[in-house]
Structure 1
């Protein structure tokens, strides 16, 4: 066999292997198993409840004033593990996966929007007989929190935000070159699966170099987002959210907030496009306590949970007793 022919055979075999791999990924052969993922990530205090025929995964821990935690995109209630551990000694801490993320859903109505997430949140809190609470949120969870407050005013007695997308997230920020290569591959060839490396790079790309994502952080994102249909449902939510940013003044909803606000601004994050001061200025009907962290990025609850939670508790100590007596 000539050298040229050997090269041709090797190339053909490589094409067959790569083609077979891509086909298996597209057919869902590498998707995670829901029963196995549930057994792994819904242990201990996790519970499930059906709200408007949507299964909701939630945790309800501790005693005292109620604090509700809303996670951001691609993650789940486990984003708040470290914070919940620090809060539950003094507070009743409720957190849940809001569809289309985590183990909640699918929604038989097929509706994945910020408004729908707020409606399901209201159903969950009513089922848990919660009337008044402090509402803590981050990333797209902050949009859900603001929409909840708009639809159901008066229930949240204080609100805390870290990563707050009042404008469409930056579309021209620099991202890791490896992600730049992976994104078109997934968009065009393998839209329904992402690797551990992909999610590790996402975490590293939005946080300081000093932060090293743990294997558990990456595993939970990988396991939950690779459930059958998960990424397709997330795509539906992102499309609806993008349309809101393109066609409405999303930030105007901040004007409906009349309770005390804590803004824990993470300056290292490059996803959010507006500034801290621009964010504060949109809350025209309440006071905002602004804390700026130059060294924290998109996941402050993972990057420095001690400092992040301590500042949150200090805010609760200042504001919750005042609100409770009004």
Structure 2
């Protein structure tokens, strides 16, 4: 009996030591925005104060463009996801990208409200600050939902829509980033506030690419470090609670704004079936399907996505 107890005690000690090593290796407490700014907010980045937040914005391209392009990223992303698209489009157009509240360097809403109506109000305020009366909204994933919600709530401000693997219907996902799954488990909140395995971020990023081998260490660095920005992990959990994936078919069918739908044929998070639902529900909309790409086509193949956008904008 004594030997058995000794063995049990030894196993417990080993498990505790293993857990301690695991925590130590993956210890990642929140980082201040100041510690991240030098690397992730070089020129032409700037910060605009809105509702107690310092919103990270880049405003590039032609200053005489009467209808700028406004680029809205998806969950756990940042304005950096659009860099290749911006480079391709800014010689002809004014292009505005930003870190939405709860993500990137902008960080959380001070009031903790992550409902879509609050995001629409925020976006309207930002456009006012930038003297943009009317814009083309281009959104990926969650940013796509914000774009079409804005087009419905303030149609006079939205000239055209580009929805890239946009949210709006139940997802029927075949591949969900593990980080999203963990963010939806309330009991893990205290742990995840200070622990973030870099391999988890790498796995999540690879899962949204059509070709996972295109995910570089530098790309993982960006997603990892910006997730560590103080308040972002808590904001992600709150947004998942406050903005569930509902069936918005009836609402989407009300959209009258000219719309281009761009999708990755290998998107396992929001499958191509949803692209066809958007096309069916939005009268007169067009669909461009890139069969080899995943959930973030603008990141995987920015020149191809930019060309599709450019062709759409040239239409009368």
TM-score, structure 2 as length reference: 0.86
Measured after TM superposition, the shift of residue 5 of structure 1 is 6.6
Deviations 1:20-50 (A, max 9, x none): 753897xx75333321112211111111111
Inter-partner Cα distance in structure 2 for 1:202 and 1:260: 33
Deviations 1:26-85 (A, max 9, x none): xx7533332111221111111111112232111100103410000001101111011111
**Counterpart of 1:297?**
294
Measured after TM superposition, the shift of residue 6 of structure 1 is 9.2
Query: CA, structure 1 residues 46+174, in 2 after alignment: closer, same or farther (shift >3 Å)?
Result: closer
Tell me the secondary structure at the aligned position of residue 76 of structure 2. Answer: coil
Measured after TM superposition, the shift of residue 266 of structure 1 is 1.5
* Match status 1:272 vs 2:270: yes
Query: CA, structure 1 residues 115+197, in 2 after alignment: closer, same or farther (shift >3 Å)?
Result: same
8 Å CA contact 2:107–2:231 kept in 1: the answer is no
Inter-partner Cα distance in structure 2 for 1:255 and 1:186: 33
**Counterpart of 1:123?**
125
* Match status 1:311 vs 2:313: no
**Counterpart of 2:49?**
50
**Counterpart of 2:17?**
16
Residues 133-282 of structure 1 mapped to structure 2, 5 A cutoff: 133-170=135-172, 173-174=174-175, 179=178, 183=182, 188-189=187-188, 190-192=191-193, 193-209=195-211, 211-242=213-244, 245=246, 249-273=247-271, 274-282=273-281
Inter-partner Cα distance in structure 2 for 1:20 and 1:296: 38
8 Å CA contact 1:211–1:303 kept in 2: the answer is no
8 Å CA contact 1:146–1:253 kept in 2: the answer is no
Match of 1:90 among 53, 71, 92: 92
Tell me the secondary structure at the aligned position of residue 162 of structure 2. Answer: strand
Inter-partner Cα distance in structure 2 for 1:76 and 1:130: 21
Query: Mind listing any 5+ residue stretches in structure 2 that lack a counterpart?
Result: none
Deviations 1:182-211 (A, max 9, x none): 949986553224322112211221222365
Inter-partner Cα distance in structure 2 for 1:84 and 1:216: 19
8 Å CA contact 1:60–1:92 kept in 2: the answer is yes
Inter-partner Cα distance in structure 2 for 1:199 and 1:127: 34
8 Å CA contact 1:169–1:272 kept in 2: the answer is yes
Inter-partner Cα distance in structure 2 for 1:111 and 1:43: 29
Inter-partner Cα distance in structure 2 for 1:58 and 1:250: 29
**Counterpart of 1:111?**
113
Query: CA, structure 1 residues 219+283, in 2 after alignment: closer, same or farther (shift >3 Å)?
Result: same
8 Å CA contact 2:70–2:138 kept in 1: the answer is yes
Query: CA, structure 1 residues 210+29, in 2 after alignment: closer, same or farther (shift >3 Å)?
Result: closer
Measured after TM superposition, the shift of residue 153 of structure 1 is 1.3
Inter-partner Cα distance in structure 2 for 1:58 and 1:188: 34
Inter-partner Cα distance in structure 2 for 1:306 and 1:88: 12
Query: CA, structure 1 residues 174+223, in 2 after alignment: closer, same or farther (shift >3 Å)?
Result: closer
Inter-partner Cα distance in structure 1 for 2:223 and 2:46: 19
8 Å CA contact 1:98–1:104 kept in 2: the answer is yes
Aligned residues: 306
Inter-partner Cα distance in structure 1 for 2:240 and 2:79: 19
Inter-partner Cα distance in structure 2 for 1:20 and 1:275: 43
Inter-partner Cα distance in structure 1 for 2:140 and 2:69: 14
